[in-house]
Structure 1
Amino acid sequence: MNLPKIPIGTWIEAAEDWLKAYGGPVFGGIKTGIGSTVDGLADTFNYLPPLAMIVIFTLLAFAIGRWRIALFTLLGLLLVDNLGYWEHTMETLALVLTAAIISVVLGVPLGIAAARSNRLQALLLPVLDFMQTMPAFVYLLPAVAFFSLGVVPGVIASVIFAIPPTIRLTNLGIRQVPEDLVEAADAFGSTPMQKLVKLQLPIAVPTIMAGVNQTIMLSLSMVVIASMIGAQGVGADVYRAVTQTKTGVGFEAGLAVVILAIILDRLTQHLVKAKKKR
């Protein structure tokens, strides 16, 4: 005797229809906000000539990291410009930064709340496991349904896929603060907010930054998938090369993504090391 199939798909589609019917204004506001942020960042990065922006990025890399990071930034971005992918690379950078900013704004408070409540942590962990293990393509379906084609559903899918490390490591960083320090702060009459801002967060910053680093890398890994639903940038060039079986073009576009990923990874890693030294 076969058991009847549980209609999970039907329930999900019913929930989607309900949200589309009653959440239109909310989704419209989210779409406008995210779209404006991505467009604003992309226009800012493409406002000056590429060589001027390369100098700015190189100086920023030297200020944050070491001369080796600055040299790689200079040579890598010059290669991106030479290959003709500068504008699309800046669009990709805008998409990744927008997804990372949203992930940090949402993920850090959730991680702090989870660190303060074992019950909330127990509730969040399976949700985070679900978000990280569900195939990324599945996120594209409701994102397109609610926000249509374009960069916005790509950012939303990137946030869902990339936010778990920020939440997990913020929670971990707060919980790893030595108990004797917390007890000392309580003994001196610190309020929960004072204890968080002056003790727990400063000690947890390196761990939190490691989560932000992973979030940025995961966001960048979504650029090609996001291009399938209309997101612009280097991911669109990679996807187009795949559909047209142009190996050389795909390698060049993929190289631009790799260079951007290495620059962002090294800079955020150096920020983590600098915080640990302090």
Structure 2
Amino acid sequence: MNYFHFPLEDWTNDFVNNWLLPVMSGFFDQISEVLKTSIEGVANFLIAVPPELIALILIILAWKIAGKGTALFTLLGCLYLGSVSLWADAMQTVSIVIVSTIISVVIGVPVGILSATNRIVDKIVRPILDFMQTLPIFVYLIPSILLFGLGGVPAVIATFVFATPPAVRMTSLGIQQVPEEVVEASKAFGSTSKQLLFKVQLPLALPTIMAGVNQTIMLALSMAVVASMIGAPGLGSTVLTGISTVNVGLGLTGGLAIVVLAIILDRITQGLGNKS
């Protein structure tokens, strides 16, 4: 049954080819340059620092924040990454995760605050978040490649789209769950809207916000393999090579390295949320 043809494909292609690329290419080139510099800067720094020092810092953080068990796992995980010669790849993956998470949090937390305090903003933001979370990953990889080329930059953009919604939703949820009597008491003592937000709502919502940051980091890390398909360096490329060459051992080695990173980052960020 084909009674009506909706030319969405033609409209999209005309928009991209006749307006977006000719008019906005310079803007996207500037964004690409900034992100590329950031990713390479973080990656070069992490690779330049002696692995033993980074491992020691991670172990101490894990011990102080998440306990002895996590510290022991962090030690074993770092030894594993070094023993399979994937330390440099792991640092490249971490650099993409760091840049993506910073962008997601810097944009997501303020949007979550606005969504929690303004009903009109909430009604606008909610369907956008639904769209970002339900749209298949490979669909927005296409415009990412088209606008930013191959490499780490489109990986960061795609990861941002995929990982930002938890930061927005958890921030909004945390502020909305602040007890109403606490808010009313703060207003009764003469708090301004700014004081109410920064001295009452945000401190009480911080554990929930940190849970959102934790989910953002996990989603960013889960994009490692997908991002490798568009040229992003790191552990994902190791897994992709194993898949393309049917090398089960290589794929397992890279996959376990991603799991190790995910568990270490998850436990440390969870510990930060609990302490907050």
Which TM-score tier does this pair reach, normalised by the shorter chain?
A: over 0.9
Aligned residue for 2:48, secondary structure, equals: coil
Pair 194,15 (structure 1): closer, same or farther in 2 beyond 3 Å: farther
Q: Supply the distance in 2 between the matched residues of 1:121 and 1:15 (Cα, whole angstroms).
A: 29
Q: Relative to 1, partners in 2 of residues 1:179 and 1:236: Cα closer, same or farther, differing over 3 Å?
A: same
Query: Offset at 1:74?
Result: 0.8
Query: Pairwise mapping of residues 229-244 of structure 1 onto structure 2 (< 5 A)?
Result: 229-244=230-245
- 1:182-231 per-residue CA deviation (whole Å, 9 max, x = no partner) reads 12222222221111100100001011111111111111111111111110
Shift of 1:65: 2.0
1:45 offset after TM fit, Å? Answer: 1.0
Supply the distance in 2 between the matched residues of 1:34 and 1:16 (Cα, whole angstroms): 22
1:74 matched to 2:75? The reply is yes
Deviation at 1:10, TM superposition (A): 2.3
Query: Structure 1: which 5+ runs fail to align?
Result: none
State the match for 1:6 in structure 2.
6
SS of residue paired to 1:3:
coil
2:180 partner letter:
E
Between the aligned partners of 1:187 and 1:55, the Cα distance in structure 2 is 49
Match of 1:93 in 2: 94
Tell me how far apart the structure 1 counterparts of residues 26 and 188 of structure 2 sit (CA, whole Å): 49
Pick closer, same or farther for the CA change 1:182–1:15 going to 2, 3 Å.
Answer: farther
Structure 2 counterpart of 1:41, one-letter code:
V
Give the superposition deviation at 1:239: 0.5
Residue 266 of structure 1 pairs with residue 272 of structure 2: no
Query: What do residues 229-268 of structure 1 show as CA deviations (whole Å, max 9, x unaligned)?
Result: 1100000010011000000010001010000000011111
CA distance in 2, matches of 1:172, 1:15: 36
Further displaced range: 250-259 or 55-64: 55-64
1:221 aligns with 2:202: no
What one-letter code is carried by the residue in structure 1 that aligns with 2:212?
Answer: G
Q: Distance in 2 between matches of 1:11 and 1:151?
A: 29
Q: Structure 1: how far apart are the matches of 2:220 and 2:16?
A: 25
Give the Cα–Cα distance (whole angstroms) in 2 for the partners of residues 211 and 230 of structure 1: 28
Superposition map of 1:13-52 within 5 A: 13-17=13-17, 18-52=19-53
Residues 61 and 267, structure 1, Cα contact 8 Å, conserved in 2: yes
Deviation readout 1:161-194 (Å, 9 max, x if unpaired) = 0100000011111111111121222222222111
- TM-score w.r.t. the length of structure 2 is 0.96
Aligned to 1:198: 199
Aligned alpha-carbon RMSD (Å): 1.2
The more displaced of 77-86 and 188-197 is 188-197
Is the contact made by 2:210 and 2:273 (CA closer than 8 Å) also made in structure 1? yes
Deviations 1:59-103 (A, max 9, x none): 222232211111111111111110010000000011011111100
Amino acid at match of 2:216: T
**Runs of at least 4 residues of structure 1 off by over 4 A?**
none
The alignment-based identity, stated in percent, is: 47
Aligned residue in 2 for 1:103: 104
One-letter code of the match for 1:174? I
> Any idea what the Cα deviations from partners look like across 1:144-174, whole Å, max 9, x if unmatched?
1110111000010000001000000111111
Q: TM-score if structure 1 supplies the norm length?
A: 0.95
For structure 2, the residue ranges without an aligned partner over 5 or more in a row are none
Cα deviation code 1:91-150 (max 9, x no counterpart) = 001101111110000000000010111122122111111111111011110001110111
Segment of structure 1 superposing worse, 59-68 or 253-262: 59-68
What is the total number of aligned residue pairs between the two structures? 275
Contact 1:16 1:142 in 2 (8 A): no
Q: Is the 8 A contact 2:183 2:196 kept in 1?
A: yes
2:61 and 2:268 in contact (8 A); partners too: no
Q: Give distance in 1, aligned partners of 2:3 and 2:119.
A: 37
Q: CA deviation at 1:53?
A: 2.1
Q: Partners in 2 of 1:132 and 1:271 — Cα distance?
A: 26
**1:8, distance to aligned residue in structure 2 (A):** 1.8
